[in-house]
């Protein structure tokens, strides 16, 4: 025990009482600062004799050292406490399950299209894709639907503010039928030499699924909708082939043989004769009701000619079915518009 011990104790108590680095620096100033208590003691040495200075000086220096040690110990303790606090605040619970990303699924219309493609591919049909912005010729005229013909209003569509080479407005195709002519023309060009020589050429057997547009909007019509066109042209293809193909398709699509189809006379400029295809389930909630699913017919001789083929030799059928309608029936959806509203509560059901 010496007379300087209380000073060391006071310094330790003051440092211990400092809860933050700033408080600690204030406490330090009171002991080791310019006019701190230890500094004052050292100033007092000046008044002593050389001998006294020696012993007193050594004692004060020892005291100063102890105060500095106490200060450093407290500094370190506060730094460790701060580190501890930070680590705690940023703690990660690695045992928590991670947030999963939502896993998407195919849109029900895409699923329906893929089904349709797979079924027709299994029957030897090619799958083709065509432009959604069409010329007047392909959408109408080449399909035997001349300008000002009233049948054009059956396919009232949207026009694009650009004209084609003939000076006619481009349109958003109102049906997939233009691809009948595009596809068949490409086929005729590919086999031009054989055709000119009167030789037999491969048949045309193709489906064209895709987006189509019309000025229509209610529970069963959307301005943008989907169709699948079918075309089979050969040397002896008749309505009986259409019936067999369509029945096989519709039964595969709905995964049941418990349904029938019927052909109901109709009119389309590009077919003669023309028919609507209706289907009827034998069981289930829609049993016993005829449901219209497709337009169809024997391709009109003028359209065969527009394809670059000879109607005396080439004959066949075409159909155009509404994919959305088929998807509605398959999935039991009552309002077509929900397919296109992008509501995940609806779409997530189709994973
Ligand atoms: N393109 C017609 C429509 O959208 C449907 C159609 C009818 C297509 C008869 C055909 C067909 O290929 O032969 O209303």
Ligand 1 mean position, distance from CA 247 (Å)? 17
Centre of ligand 1 to C-alpha 146, Å, is 16
Give the mean model confidence (pLDDT) for residues 170-197: 97
CA of 177 to the centre of ligand 1 (A): 6
**pLDDT, tens digit (0-9, with 9 covering 90-100), for 132-146:** 999 999 999 999 998
Kindly report, residue by residue over 190-238, the tens digit of the pLDDT.
999 999 999 999 999 999 999 999 998 888 889 999 999 999 999 999 9
- Tell whether ligand 1 has an atom less than 6 A from the beta carbon of residue 318: yes
* Residue 175 near ligand 1, beta carbon < 6 Å: yes
- Is any atom of ligand 1 closer than 6 Å to the C-beta of 229? yes
Rounded to the nearest angstrom, the distance between the alpha carbon of 201 and the centre of ligand 1 is 25
Ligand 1 atom index nearest CA of 317: 13
CA-proximal residue: ligand 1, atom 10 (nearest):
319
Residue 137, pLDDT score: 96
Residue 1's pLDDT is: 54
Confidence of residue 91 (pLDDT cuts 50, 70, 90): confident
| Ligand 1 touching residue 322 (CB < 6 A) | no
Contact 321 CB / ligand 1 (< 6 Å): no
Q: pLDDT of 112-122, one tens digit each?
A: 999 999 999 99
- What b-and-e string marks burial along 175-203, b requiring 16 or more CB atoms within 10 Å of the CB? bbbbbbbbbbbebbeebeeebeeeeebeb
What are 285's two structure tokens? 């909630």
Is 320's C-beta closer than 6 angstroms to any atom of ligand 1? yes
pLDDT digit string, tens, across residues 256-291? 999 999 999 999 999 999 999 999 999 999 999 999
Decide: helix, strand or coil at residue 61.
Answer: helix
- The distance of Cα 304 from the centroid of its chain, to the nearest Å, equals 40
Q: Verify whether ligand 1 is closer than 6 Å to residue 319 (CB atom).
A: yes
Distance 325 CA to ligand 1 centre (A): 14
**What per-residue confidence (pLDDT) applies to 218?**
85
Cα–Cα dist 235/203, whole Å: 8
DSSP three-state, residue 225:
strand
The two beta strands, 126-127 and 204-213, are: parallel
3 state DSSP class of 21 = helix
Q: Say if residue 153's pLDDT is above 80.
A: no
Distance 274 CA to ligand 1 centre (A): 9
Mutate to test the pocket of ligand 1, among 268, 300, 323 (most ligand atoms within 8 A of CB): 268
User: Ligand 1 centroid to 319 CA: how many Å?
Assistant: 5
pLDDT at 343: 94
* 156 pLDDT tier (thresholds 50, 70, 90): confident
Using a 6 Å cutoff on CB, does residue 210 contact ligand 1?
A: no
144 close to ligand 1 (CB < 6 Angstrom): no
End-to-end CA distance of the chain: 84
* Partners of 234 in beta bridges: 315
Residue 33, phi then psi, degrees to nearest 5: -70, 180
Q: What is the pLDDT of residue 219?
A: 82
pLDDT of residue 18: 93
DSSP label at 153?
Answer: G
Distance 297 CA to ligand 1 centre (A): 8
Average pLDDT of the segment spanning 47-51? 90
Name the residue with the closest Cα to ligand 1, atom 8: 320
Atom number of ligand 1 nearest to Cα 230: 12
Ligand 1 atom showing the smallest separation from residue 320 Cα: 8
244: CA distance to ligand 1 center in Å? Answer: 18
* Cα 301 to averaged position of ligand 1 atoms, centre (Å): 16
């Amino acid at each position: 025990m010496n007379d300087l011990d209380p000073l060391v104790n006071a310094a330790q108590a003051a440092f211990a009482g400092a809860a933050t680095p700033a408080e600690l620096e204030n406490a330090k100033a009171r002991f080791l600062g310019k006019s701190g208590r230890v500094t004052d003691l050292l100033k007092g040495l000046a008044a002593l004799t050389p001998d006294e200075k020696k012993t007193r000086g050594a004692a004060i220096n020892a005291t100063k050292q102890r105060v500095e040690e106490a200060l450093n110990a407290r500094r370190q303790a506060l730094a460790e406490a701060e580190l501890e606090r930070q680590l705690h605040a940023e703690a990660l619970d690695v045992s928590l399950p991670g947030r999963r990303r939502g896993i998407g699924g195919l849109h029900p219309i895409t699923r329906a299209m893929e089904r349709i493609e797979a079924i027709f591919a299994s029957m030897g049909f090619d799958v083709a894709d065509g432009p959604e912005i069409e010329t007047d010729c392909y959408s109408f005229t080449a399909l035997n639907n001349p300008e000002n013909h009233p049948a054009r209003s059956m396919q009232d569509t949207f026009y694009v503010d650009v004209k084609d080479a003939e000076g006619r407005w481009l349109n958003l195709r109102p049906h997939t039928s233009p691809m009948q002519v595009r596809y068949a023309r490409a086929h005729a060009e590919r086999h031009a030499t054989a055709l000119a020589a009167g030789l037999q050429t491969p048949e045309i057997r193709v489906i064209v699924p895709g987006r189509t547009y019309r000025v229509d909007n209610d529970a069963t019509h959307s301005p943008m909708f989907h169709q699948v066109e079918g075309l089979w042209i050969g040397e002896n293809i008749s309505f009986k082939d259409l019936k067999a193909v369509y029945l096989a398709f519709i039964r595969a699509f709905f995964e049941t043989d418990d349904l029938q189809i019927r052909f109901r006379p109709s009119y389309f400029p590009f077919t003669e004769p023309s028919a609507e295809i209706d289907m009827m389930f034998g069981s289930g909630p829609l049993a016993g009701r005829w449901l219209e699913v497709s337009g169809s017919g024997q391709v009109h001789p003028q359209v065969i000619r527009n394809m670059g083929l000879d109607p005396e030799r080439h004959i066949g059928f075409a159909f155009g079915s509404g994919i959305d309608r088929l998807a509605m029936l398959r999935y039991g959806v009552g309002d077509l518009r929900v397919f296109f509203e992008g509501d995940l509560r609806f779409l997530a059901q189709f994973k």
